[in-house]
Amino acid sequence: MLIVTDSNSHGIYQVDIANNGACLQGRVNLLLRLPVNSQPFGLAFDGNVYIGDSGNDGGITKFNLATSQAVMIVKNGTPNCQIVHGLDYTSDGKIIFADRGSRVVRELLQTPSDCLHSAIKILAGSGKDSSNDGSSHCASFSQQTALCTEGKTIYVNDTAVGAIRMITPTNSLCKFLEMFDVLYKIFGVHLKGMKAEEHTLDEALASLNGIISTCNQWINEVQNVIGKKVATHGPQGTVSWKSRRRTNILKKVSVISWKFY
What is the domain range of residue 78?
Answer: 2-167
Among 167, 200, 226, the domain-final residue is 167
Per-residue pLDDT of the chain (261 residues; tens, 9 = 90+): 789 999 899 999 999 888 878 888 888 999 999 999 999 999 998 889 999 999 999 999 999 988 999 999 999 999 999 999 999 988 778 899 999 999 999 998 776 677 777 789 999 999 999 988 877 788 899 999 999 998 778 899 999 999 998 887 765 666 667 777 777 777 777 667 777 777 777 877 787 787 788 778 777 777 776 777 777 766 555 677 777 777 777 777 666 555 545
Distance CA 58, CA 60 (A): 7
**pTM over cut 0.75:** no
Q: Are residues 80 and 13 in the same domain?
A: yes
Task: Tell me the residue ranges of DSSP E strands in the chain.
Answer: 2-6, 11-19, 24-33, 40-45, 48-53, 59-64, 69-75, 84-89, 95-99, 104-108, 120-124, 144-150, 153-158, 163-167
Read off the CATH number of the domain in which 21 is found. Answer: 2.120.10.30
Residue 251 and residue 158 in one domain: no
Domain end among 112, 142, 167: 167
Domains held by the chain: number: 2
Q: Residue 219: helix, strand or coil by DSSP?
A: helix
